[in-house]
Amino acid sequence: MSATRELSRRGFLRMGAAAGGLVFTLQLLPFGQRSAAAAAEAAAAVLPGLSPNLFVELQRDGGVIITCHRSEMGQQTRTSMAQLVADELEADWARVVVRQAPGDPKYGDQNTDGSKSVRLNFTRLRQAGASVRQLLHLAAADTWQVPVAECSSELGVVYHRASGRQLGYGELVDRAAALPLPEPASATLKTRDQWRYIGKAVASVDLDDVLHGTARFGMDVQLPGMLVAVIARPPVVFGRVKSLDDKAARATPGVVDVIQLDPPSPPVAFKALGGVAVIADNTWTALQARGKLEIDWLDGDNGDYDSGQFMESMVATVGKPGTVVRAQGDVDRALAGATKTVEAVYRAPHLAHATMEPPAATAVVTAASAEVWACTQNPQAARSSVAEALGLKPEQVVVHVTLLGGGFGRKSKQDFVVEAALLARATGKPVKVVWSREDDIQHDYYHTISAQYLKAGLDAEGKTIGWLQRTVFPSIGSTFNAGQVSPLDFELGMGAQDNPFAIDNLRIEKGEAKAYTRIGWLRSVINILHTFSAQSFACELAQAAGADPKDYLLQLIGPARTVELPDLPVKYANYGAAQAEYPIDTGRLRHVIETVAERSDWNRKRKQGRALGIAAHRSFLSYVATVVEVEVKADGSWIIPSVHTVIDAGTVVNTDHVTAQCEGGTVFGVSCAIGAISFREGRAQQSNFHDYRVARMSQAPRMIDVHIVPSSAPPAGVGEPPTPPVAPALCNAIQVATGKRIRDLPVPLRL
Amino acid sequence: MKLNVNGESHQFDGDPAMPILWFVRDMLGFTGTKFGCGMALCGACTVHVDGAAVRACTTPVSFAENKRITTIEGLAKGDELHPLQKAWQQHNVPQCGYCQSGQIMQAAALLAKNASPADDEIVSAMSGNICRCGTYTRIHAAIKTAAEELS
């Protein structure tokens, strides 16, 4: 293994040097001991293999290269996409190498967000594998002059059982090359019981490289002659340089240049933020020299942004009637006639993505071309953004996708890639743009800030008979349309319009809010704030009714049924999927709640200071219920001894990675509950991990029990759905433990 | 000055204040040691200097003169993985993988000092290392497994 690793590393250096920096082995990331030989041979192959389609390359030595067109950020998409192809191809996993696709529309959707890689590719990639397998059967039948129906295959070998003959896939390459590829859509797919890799806990193809420190992330790209840039960006969005003194920076040994970048014009979109770039021959020098820049900034219109004052303006907005986005029954009459009414305002702050790898991108630009290497979630957007910034055609731009050290939606935005391209053009050299943690925290596309107003009426039996919810937050739409002050349809469909409760009188309203910073999507997006408010409020109603929160939640949801949302004033997006295929199924929602209650032993009385809280939510077409156990100490500090979570994501491709996403999504949910970004004078007030709090091992659950509901339903999302229930479940637990209801996030570490 | 990294000696004539992180990454190409915060707040850059865990992002190379620096690339003994690397494999710990070099180096220094740490000692020793993917429960379990292996 180490020999191959060494070969791989040396090969990387050698190839980089030999090709003037334009060849980079990231396209072929070898993995695992099992694939060592295949990887080495693949890297050294002189004769190209046969590529019957975009996703499969058959090598003459029997190796199989599978192309992954989705970006890897920890969800193990490189493994699961390869599992889909390899299973139907009946490839030998030990001979499979995964190649990362560049950004190119020919691969179809490469925008790796929205928890949709498996959903969008589940059938398509299996067909890609199955049609190549059929091609190999045809090639073998042709060779042996037997009917194709008599050929079968297993683990990279085609058999003719009747005559005892066999040929490896590699031996069939030349024969297969002369035959047309069977139509993928008509390829016969395996039945579920025949699946070899799908639904199994196959280890990550990148595990071995990670453990050796040889996995290549965007930050790790090194090209011969490469310069490193760090940028002092305007502290306020749309701010600009008023005056600059760069003498000290330029005088620093190792500094090559100081270059001003123009500020963007609205909308901010994926444009570079502008500022002053320091270009040096190594990262440390660039960082040091940036600190010597003396810059006066003109802040512009966003310079007054104060998130505390802004929150109060949103609270005022939710206090007034808004625009109806869903209504049934007569809420006003129900509330007026209720035995008891309950109302609450929930506040949630901006959050930063804080991927462990800050954004980084490397570019080489000529008059008629650009080549970039970036940790991007959306390489096609990187390509078009770079093309637009440089005045090139997209076809003139090549985008190589590295591994991503976390994404969470941050790396869907291409500003950092554009910066690298602009600076590579300006210097005429390969340039890597490195973001520091301060850059990352202070120039994010932030998760939005929000206020929610909820009011409900209970009848004499404690049943909720009316539900009013008003939601207000600056929209992601503002990033792409500067005048956007109202939520987009898809944002309303994340936990507001799609309320699954069986309440006869229900009304959801939206209000307006302007954005004063860049607003982006963060793992599970608007579900974070809507689930926090709705699932906290459900628990408040249970307490008002004197009922058990889990029982009351099930009562609110009502019987198993499909929630129809016809004729809404604003169309329900359903995550881009047809409701016929992916309905809102309260039976599945009930089931995850009942299962998590059982697994967490919900009814067992906990010892003094400990308490449970529950929350459940359907998002990205999957159903998740979570029980958080909290222990509050005498000094008000708290820990999470355990979390139980149950997911119904339909058909799953890799059970261990779904479990890992549920664990990680739970920890991410804790971070969403305890973190906050605030603004004063248009500037983010936090800058690094000392003041932007994310969950460390000490705050993370000590134990996370994950159960995946066995299902043959169509595959749904996995990366995001585990996150939304965590904050409300935590706050519901804290309320039981202490009597304190937290309606304003973040949750303090000392209650 | 002379700097020993993963058993090999390197001459360095640059700024002695340069953090070890940028020396091993930019000068030697050992990119397994990661840049996460630059302020010793996240642990992604953790390496060993004479066997002790240090945050390479804030430790100048001058500190390591005449000492041995070990990065993740030097943790395994040839083909023989460190027990923690094996345990990491067994528990499928990494998600994105970016912080894992630092996590493993931090855990290795812990086990070198304390071969069978209690649960709370693990939490305390590892809470300087952030993982945004949230692999903490697996990190904890893998450290326990490696500790058992070692004892």
Q: What is the pLDDT of residues A543-559, one digit of tens each?
A: 999 999 999 999 999 99
Same domain, A234 and A143: no
Asked if residue A37 belongs to a domain, the reply is no
B121 CA: distance to closest CA in chain A (Å): 11
DSSP 8-state symbol, A31 = -
Whether the CB of B137 is below 8 Å from some CB of chain A: the reply is: yes
Nearest to B136 among A73, A217, A700 (CB): A700
Three-state secondary structure call for residue B110: helix
Same domain, A138 and A269: no
Out of A212, A236, A263, a domain closes at: A212
Name the residue in chain B with its Cα closest to that of A72: B96
Spell out the residues 6+ positions from residue A195 whose beta carbon is closer than 8 angstroms to its own.
A87
Query: Higher pLDDT residue, B61 or A14?
Result: B61
Give me the pLDDT at residue A567, please. 84
Task: Please give the residue range of the domain that contains residue A459.
Answer: 307-352+445-738
| Location of each CATH 1.10.150.120 domain in chain B | 83-150
Beta strands (DSSP E) in A527-637 are 562-563, 584-585, 610-619, 622-632
Whether the CB of B12 is below 8 Å from some CB of chain A: the reply is: no
Asked if residue A26 belongs to a domain, the reply is no
| Location of each CATH 3.10.20.30 domain in chain B | 2-74
Distances (CA, A) of A68 to A34, A76, A96, A98: 19, 11, 12, 7
Percent of chain B at pLDDT > 70 equals 100
Give me the pLDDT at residue B151, please. 84
Whether the CB of B39 is below 8 Å from some CB of chain A: the reply is: yes
Centre a 10 Å sphere on the Cβ of residue A751 and count the other Cβ atoms it contains.
16
Beta strands (DSSP E) in A408-476 are 431-434, 450-458, 464-472
Nearest to A656 among B29, B31, B92 (CB): B92
B136-150 and B119-126 are packed helices; what angle lies between their axes, rounded to 10 degrees? 120
Out of A181, A212, A243, a domain closes at: A212
Same domain, A331 and A422: no
Nearest to B22 among A209, A284, A438 (CB): A284
Same domain, A234 and A117: no
Which phi and psi (to 5°) does residue A220 adopt?
Answer: -95, 0
Contacts of A434 in chain B (CB under 8 A): 35
Please answer whether residues A268 and A479 qualify as being in contact, where contact means their C-beta atoms are separated by less than 8 angstroms: yes
CATH number at residue A280: 3.30.365.10
Three-state secondary structure call for residue A9: helix
Structure-token match 């058999």, residue found: A159
Contacts of A216 in chain B (CB under 8 A): 31
Three-state secondary structure call for residue A631: strand
Beta bridge partners of B4: B9, B68
Alpha-carbon torsion angle B95, B96, B98, B100, nearest 10: 10
Domain B83-150 has CATH 1.10.150.120: yes
Same domain, A296 and A320: no
CA dist., res. A140 & res. A149, Å (int):
11
In what helix (H) or strand (E) does residue A278 lie, and over which residues does it extend? strand A275-280
Asked if residue A27 belongs to a domain, the reply is no
- The b-or-e profile of B94-113 (16+ CB within 10 A means b, else e) is bbbbbbbbbbbbbbbbbbee
Asked if residue A230 belongs to a domain, the reply is yes
Whether the bond into A748 is cis, omega within 30 of 0: no
Give me the pLDDT at residue A37, please. 43
Contacts of A203 in chain B (CB under 8 A): 89, 92
DSSP 8-state symbol, B24 = I
Please answer whether residues A715 and A650 qualify as being in contact, where contact means their C-beta atoms are separated by less than 8 angstroms: yes
Asked if residue A414 belongs to a domain, the reply is yes
Distances (CA, A) of A88 to A125, A185, A462, A530, A630: 9, 13, 54, 40, 45
Nearest to A700 among B26, B71, B134 (CB): B134
Name the residue in chain B with its Cα closest to that of A667: B134
CB neighbour class for A579 (10 Å; exposed up to 12, middle 13-18, buried from 19)? middle
Angle at A511 between CA A505 and CA A515, to 5 degrees: 150
B23 CA: distance to closest CA in chain A (Å): 9
Spell out the residues 6+ positions from residue B36 whose beta carbon is closer than 8 angstroms to its own.
A356, A357, A358, A437, B42, B43, B44, B45, B57, B98, B99, B102, B130
Same domain, A151 and A84: yes
Spell out the residues 6+ positions from residue A367 whose beta carbon is closer than 8 angstroms to its own.
none
pTM: 0.95
CA dist., res. B36 & res. A390, Å (int):
30
Side chain identity at A168, as an amino acid letter?
G
The encoded tokens of residue A686 equal 């936090």
- Domain B2-74 falls in which CATH fold? Ubiquitin-like (UB roll) (3.10.20)
- In chain A, the number of structural domains is 3
Spell out the residues 6+ positions from residue A663 whose beta carbon is closer than 8 angstroms to its own.
A704, A706, B134, B135, B137, B138
Asked if residue A243 belongs to a domain, the reply is yes
Asked if residue A8 belongs to a domain, the reply is no
- Of the candidates A560, A259, A617, A186, the one whose C-alpha atom is nearest the C-alpha of residue A427 is A259
Name the residue in chain A with its Cα closest to that of B136: A697
Three-state secondary structure call for residue B147: helix
Asked if residue A542 belongs to a domain, the reply is yes
Chain-chain contact of A222 with B29 (C-beta, under 8 angstroms): yes
CB neighbour class for B90 (10 Å; exposed up to 12, middle 13-18, buried from 19)? middle
Give me the pLDDT at residue A48, please. 78
Give me the pLDDT at residue A45, please. 52
Chain-chain contact of B76 with A2 (C-beta, under 8 angstroms): yes
Sign of CA dihedral A270, A271, A277, A280: positive
CA dist., res. B18 & res. A285, Å (int):
8
Which residues of chain A carry a pLDDT beneath 70? 1-47
Chain-chain contact of A356 with B128 (C-beta, under 8 angstroms): no
Centre a 10 Å sphere on the Cβ of residue A25 and count the other Cβ atoms it contains.
18
Longest dimension (CA), chain A: 83
Same domain, A348 and A364: no
- Of the candidates A520, A524, A507, the one whose C-alpha atom is nearest the C-alpha of residue A453 is A507
Beta bridge partners of A97: A65
Same domain, A342 and A412: no
CA dist., res. A461 & res. A82, Å (int):
54
Mutation target vs B (from A697, A703, A726; most B CBs, 10 A cutoff): A697
Quick one: residue A203, left, alpha or beta (phi over 0 = left, psi -120 to 50 = alpha)?
A: beta
Chain-chain contact of B95 with A76 (C-beta, under 8 angstroms): yes
Nearest to B78 among A2, A437, A663 (CB): A2
Give me the pLDDT at residue A42, please. 52
A547 CA: distance to closest CA in chain B (Å): 33
CA dist., res. B113 & res. B101, Å (int):
19
Alpha-carbon torsion angle A638, A644, A649, A653, nearest 10: 100
Chain-chain contact of B101 with A656 (C-beta, under 8 angstroms): no
The encoded tokens of residue B89 equal 């494999």
Please answer whether residues A114 and A104 qualify as being in contact, where contact means their C-beta atoms are separated by less than 8 angstroms: no
Same domain, A136 and A49: yes
Out of A401, A434, A467, a domain closes at: A434
